[in-house]
């Protein structure tokens, strides 16, 4: 029953601006638009739901037929055809029922008809009004306003969303739910993977095996090219039902082996991975190409192929070793490949390969049976087959010393030699020099104005010395250094008079202690290796009279002579032990002519060895001059040449010990005359020679009282 015409208009729709109530025509337009949107949304959802249900059902039916009905699954042509049907059908439905309707709008007359179908009480008022407005045949304003008012009143009692028929959408949703449920049930209950069948349908061009209860998803290395004489490890992941055994079957190109089975073993109990190693006939490596596949239960992998190619290898043509210049050694060349050189030597290597290669590397290892690289050097490749490299032999900054090396070549496709030839490598290390402080051999206590005669010997076991330097340290700080020898020779034995006054008067306070030693350096470039003697301590006492200081120096010289005599005797005994035929009666002790003559004057030992022409003790100036004259030590050969002069009674320089007392070298045996000369102390003209023993007891007592 229609309501009276004086009924209030419906509330303001959301599209109205600032009015409290909407006009009748505005309300009608709002409801018509709302119905259009609802119809369009319902149609699109229905189409999408139906499409999803169709795709899932299609895949499920294909998987069932491919896995359980058709032996071996759908062939390749059938899979291409079924995939085309799925793609074309999906594309057509998407364009026809989804994309095209989405860009179109619902007709207002159709929306009005849907509303009137849902509410017959409108009695065609809404449909007639919308149809007249759509056709442009509007009645008179009064009639049109009355029709709009009557239709608006009826529309206020109708929900446009309820007017849209949602039954097709519900049916499509139920169909989609059923398809999804069956799909999930198949995944949960079937021992065969549905995804393998889906892949076979969606990717028909790939060689995907049919779904089985046992699955082999991955086989490594698959298709591959390997160098000859190498071995091959094949691994396969086996999932699903665990088979009793997993077998690899291979067939060689020459037909000698056809489907030859090799049992694969599980790598670890908890990991479903099986491996097998192909080592070739009699373990000599693979020599020809072959095909293989893996079988496990009802699963069979696809067939793979291994191409066996000749590996790239290098042959050394020449190795040139240029030692560093300071060694003065000539360059050596060899074709054997073995390297034996000193550190810092330049090595130039050339080699050729059997096939063209892309790159090559020198790899250094700790030993010939180990391929782990300690260091690598890239080689230069020219014309594809010529290799060259230059480097300097050097010790590694960390890790073991390399003892071997080999050349590893790589082709453009990444192939390399599995068994490269190893060569020996010997890096000779330049050993540091050796220096020994013969005298003093222990800690000292000397007055501040004393002169200490240092006696030393130094040698380099490899090449030559560069210098020998005295270093003095006070409280961990170096306060003095002086080069006592500087010459390019392999060994030296000499003396040097060390004036403590050179340390500086401000440091020579009584009780001050110094640490001193000798440091030798060889001619290794650029800085040279260094060796040090034992470190000794020197305690400074109060200055004494010049004569007492000179007497102390002479005592030190006497101790040097005693040390040299003892060393000479030990050396001669060693020589006699090495040569039993030598007559021991020729030793210096048995030669009466070689015995030291006793002094005529017992007090001569306590007198200074150097005198002025007037027979007085030398002044301080003459002592400094004499000390300066003896700063540089004489080489061993010059000392030997001076020995006859000492034996003839010639004088030695003031403050300098006799040269004949030097220790003989290994190549020279001590003769009785040399030993006798070493045991005597030369004095100035008119002085009598005295044996190299300690001063008499009276003189020692007087000296001790003076020092006290």
Tens digits of residue pLDDT in 419-464 = 888 999 999 988 899 999 988 889 988 888 888 889 999 999 988 8
Residue 675 has pLDDT above 70, yes or no: no
Residue 316 has pLDDT above 90, yes or no: yes
User: Could you give the C-alpha distances from 186 to 165, 310, 439, 448, 687, in angstroms and in order?
Assistant: 34, 51, 100, 107, 126
Element (DSSP H or E) covering residue 418:
none
Residue 274 has pLDDT above 90, yes or no: yes
Strands 444-447 and 536-541: parallel
Are the C-beta atoms of residues 434 and 531 closer than 8 Å to each other?
Answer: yes
Q: What is the pLDDT of residue 14?
A: 52
Cα separation of 137 and 472, whole Å?
125
At CA 507, angle to CA 502 and CA 513, rounded to 5?
Answer: 105
Bigger pLDDT: 512 vs 705: 512
Q: What is the pLDDT of residue 207?
A: 82
Q: What is the pLDDT of residue 225?
A: 86
Tokens representing 171 are: 């049916």
Cα separation of 333 and 347, whole Å?
10
Tens digits of residue pLDDT in 370-395 = 778 889 999 999 998 999 999 999 88
Closest C-alpha to 243, from 287, 286, 213? 213
Residue 176 has pLDDT above 60, yes or no: yes
CA dihedral 567, 572, 578, 580 (to 10 degrees): -150
Bigger pLDDT: 320 vs 555: 320
Mean pLDDT of the chain: 76
Cα separation of 546 and 549, whole Å?
5
At CA 208, angle to CA 204 and CA 211, rounded to 5?
Answer: 110
Cα separation of 449 and 546, whole Å?
8
Banded model confidence at residue 72, pLDDT cuts 50, 70, 90 = confident
What are the strands of the beta sheet with 491-499, ordered from one edge? Answer: 434-439, 451-459, 491-499
What number is the average pLDDT over the span 7-35?
Answer: 59
Q: At what angle do helices 546-578 and 620-629 cross, to 10 degrees?
A: 30
SS3 assignment, position 642:
helix
For 314-428, the fitting CATH number among 2.60.40, 1.10.287, 3.90.1570, 1.20.1340 is 2.60.40
Residue 396 has pLDDT above 90, yes or no: no
Cα separation of 161 and 159, whole Å?
5
For the ranges 153-157, 216-220, 288-292, the lowest mean pLDDT is seen at 153-157
CA dihedral 171, 176, 177, 179 (to 10 degrees): 130
Owner of token pair 């208009």: 9
What number is the average pLDDT over the span 121-150?
Answer: 65
Q: What is the pLDDT of residue 591?
A: 44
Cα separation of 12 and 21, whole Å?
4
Length reported for the chain:
708
Element (DSSP H or E) covering residue 484:
strand 477-489
Residue 55 has pLDDT above 90, yes or no: yes
Cα separation of 98 and 75, whole Å?
33
For the ranges 112-116, 393-397, 500-504, the lowest mean pLDDT is seen at 112-116
What number is the average pLDDT over the span 6-18?
Answer: 46
Element (DSSP H or E) covering residue 3:
none
Element (DSSP H or E) covering residue 671:
none
What number is the average pLDDT over the span 183-193?
Answer: 90
Are the C-beta atoms of residues 546 and 486 closer than 8 Å to each other?
Answer: no
For the ranges 229-243, 529-543, 678-692, the lowest mean pLDDT is seen at 678-692
Residue 640 has pLDDT above 70, yes or no: no
Tens digits of residue pLDDT in 233-245 = 999 999 888 888 9
Cα separation of 40 and 52, whole Å?
19
Q: What is the pLDDT of residue 1?
A: 36
Residue 649 has pLDDT above 70, yes or no: no
CA dihedral 649, 654, 660, 666 (to 10 degrees): -170
Closest C-alpha to 232, from 299, 307, 295, 302? 307
Cα separation of 319 and 339, whole Å?
8
Q: What are phi and psi of 321, to 5 degrees?
A: -115, 120
SS3 assignment, position 195:
helix
SS3 assignment, position 446:
strand
Q: What are the helix (H) ranges across 65-156?
A: 76-93, 100-103, 108-118, 125-135, 141-155
Bigger pLDDT: 558 vs 212: 212
Banded model confidence at residue 565, pLDDT cuts 50, 70, 90 = low
Tens digits of residue pLDDT in 334-359 = 999 999 999 999 999 999 998 899 99
User: Could you give the C-alpha distances from 149 to 3, 160, 624, 666, in angstroms and in order?
Assistant: 11, 18, 139, 138
Bigger pLDDT: 308 vs 571: 308
Are the C-beta atoms of residues 495 and 638 closer than 8 Å to each other?
Answer: no
Are the C-beta atoms of residues 307 and 349 closer than 8 Å to each other?
Answer: no
> What's the distance, CA 58 to chain centroid?
56
Cα separation of 374 and 360, whole Å?
16
Q: What is the pLDDT of residue 22?
A: 60
What number is the average pLDDT over the span 292-318?
Answer: 90
Q: What is the pLDDT of residue 561?
A: 74
Tokens representing 541 are: 């006492």
To the question of domain 212-309 being in CATH 2.60.40.10, the answer is yes
Residue 221 has pLDDT above 90, yes or no: yes
Are the C-beta atoms of residues 346 and 390 closer than 8 Å to each other?
Answer: yes
Q: What is the pLDDT of residue 250?
A: 95
User: Could you give the C-alpha distances from 623 to 104, 505, 612, 629, 690, in angstroms and in order?
Assistant: 124, 18, 11, 10, 22
For 434-543, the fitting CATH number among 3.50.7.10, 3.40.50.720, 2.60.40.10, 3.20.20.140 is 2.60.40.10
Cα separation of 164 and 39, whole Å?
6
What number is the average pLDDT over the span 202-230?
Answer: 88
Q: What is the pLDDT of residue 390?
A: 94
Element (DSSP H or E) covering residue 166:
none
What number is the average pLDDT over the span 529-546?
Answer: 89
> What's the distance, CA 226 to chain centroid?
28
Are the C-beta atoms of residues 153 and 129 closer than 8 Å to each other?
Answer: no
Residue 707's contacts (CB-CB under 8 Å, 6 or more residues apart) are 541, 544, 548
CATH 2.60.40.10, the chain: domain bounds: 212-309, 434-543
Tens digits of residue pLDDT in 567-585 = 666 666 665 665 544 444 4
Banded model confidence at residue 154, pLDDT cuts 50, 70, 90 = low
Q: What is the pLDDT of residue 576?
A: 62
Residue 230 has pLDDT above 80, yes or no: yes
């Amino acid at each position: 029953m229609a309501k009276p015409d004086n009924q209030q208009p419906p509330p303001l729709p959301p599209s109205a601006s600032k009015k409290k109530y909407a006009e009748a025509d505005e309300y009608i337009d709002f409801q018509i638009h709302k119905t259009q949107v609802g119809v369009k949304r319902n149609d699109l959802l229905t189409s999408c739901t139906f499409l999803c249900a169709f795709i899932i059902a299609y895949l499920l039916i294909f998987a069932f037929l491919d896995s359980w009905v058709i032996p071996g699954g759908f062939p390749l042509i059938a899979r291409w055809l079924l995939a085309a049907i799925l793609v074309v059908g999906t594309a057509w439905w998407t364009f026809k029922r989804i994309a095209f309707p989405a860009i179109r709008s619902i007709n207002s007359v159709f929306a009005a008809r849907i509303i009137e179908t849902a509410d017959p009480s409108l009695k065609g008022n809404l449909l007639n009004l919308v149809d007249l407005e759509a056709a442009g045949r509007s009645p008179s304003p009064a009639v049109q306003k009355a029709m709009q008012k009557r239709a608006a009143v009826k529309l206020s009692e109708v929900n446009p969303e309820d007017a849209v028929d949602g039954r097709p959408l519900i049916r499509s949703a139920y169909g989609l739910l059923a398809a999804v449920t069956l799909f999930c049930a198949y995944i949960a209950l079937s021992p065969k993977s549905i995804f393998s069948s889906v892949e076979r349908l969606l990717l028909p061009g790939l060689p995907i095996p049919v779904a089985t209860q046992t699955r082999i998803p991955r086989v490594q290395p698959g298709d591959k090219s390997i160098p000859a004489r190498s071995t091959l490890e094949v691994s396969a992941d086996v999932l699903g039902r665990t088979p009793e055994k997993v077998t690899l079957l291979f067939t060689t190109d020459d037909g000698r082996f056809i489907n030859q089975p090799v049992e694969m073993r599980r790598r670890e109990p908890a990991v479903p991975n099986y491996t097998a190693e192909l080592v070739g006939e009699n373990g000599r490596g693979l020599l020809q190409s072959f095909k293989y596949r893996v079988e496990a239960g009802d699963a069979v992998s696809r067939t793979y192929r291994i191409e066996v190619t000749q590996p790239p290898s290098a042959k050394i043509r020449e190795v040139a070793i240029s030692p560093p210049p300071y060694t003065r050694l000539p360059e050596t060349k060899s074709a054997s490949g073995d390297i034996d050189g000193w550190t810092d030597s330049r090595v130039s290597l050339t080699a050729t390969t059997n096939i063209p290669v892309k790159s090559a590397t020198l790899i250094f290892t700790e030993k010939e049976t180990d391929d782990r690289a300690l260091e690598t050097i890239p080689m230069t490749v020219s014309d594809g087959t010529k290799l060259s490299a230059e480097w300097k032999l050097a010790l590694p900054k960390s890790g073991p010393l390399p003892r071997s090396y080999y050349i590893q070549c790589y082709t453009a496709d990444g192939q390399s030699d599995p068994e490269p030839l190893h060569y020996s490598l010997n890096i000779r290390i330049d050993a540091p020099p050796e220096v020994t402080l013969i005298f003093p051999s222990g800690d000292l206590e000397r007055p501040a104005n004393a002169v200490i005669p240092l006696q030393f010997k130094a040698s380099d076991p490899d090449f030559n010395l560069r210098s020998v330097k005295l270093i003095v340290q006070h409280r961990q700080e170096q306060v003095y250094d002086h080069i006592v020898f500087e010459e390019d020779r392999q060994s030296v034995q000499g003396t040097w008079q060390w004036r403590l006054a050179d340390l500086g008067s401000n440091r020579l306070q009584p009780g001050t202690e110094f640490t001193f030693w000798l440091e030798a350096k060889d001619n290794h470039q650029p800085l040279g290796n260094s060796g040090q003697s034992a470190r000794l301590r020197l305690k400074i006492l109060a200055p004494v009279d010049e004569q007492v200081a000179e007497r102390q120096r002479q005592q030190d010289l006497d101790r040097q002579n005693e040390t040299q005599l003892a060393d000479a005797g030990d050396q001669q005994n060693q020589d006699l032990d090495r040569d039993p035929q030598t007559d021991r009666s020729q030793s210096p002790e048995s030669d009466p002519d070689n015995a030291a003559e006793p002094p005529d004057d017992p007090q001569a030992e306590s007198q200074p060895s150097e005198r002025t022409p007037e027979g007085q003790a030398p002044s301080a100036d003459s002592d400094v001059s004499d000390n300066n004259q003896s700063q540089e030590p004489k080489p061993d050969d010059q000392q030997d040449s001076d020995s006859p002069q000492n034996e003839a009674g010639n004088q030695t320089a003031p403050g300098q010990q006799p040269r004949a007392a030097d220790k003989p070298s290994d190549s020279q045996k001590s003769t009785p005359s040399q030993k006798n000369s070493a045991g005597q102390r030369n004095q100035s003209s008119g002085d009598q020679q005295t044996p190299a023993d300690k001063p008499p007891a009276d003189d020692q007592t007087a000296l001790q009282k003076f020092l006290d």
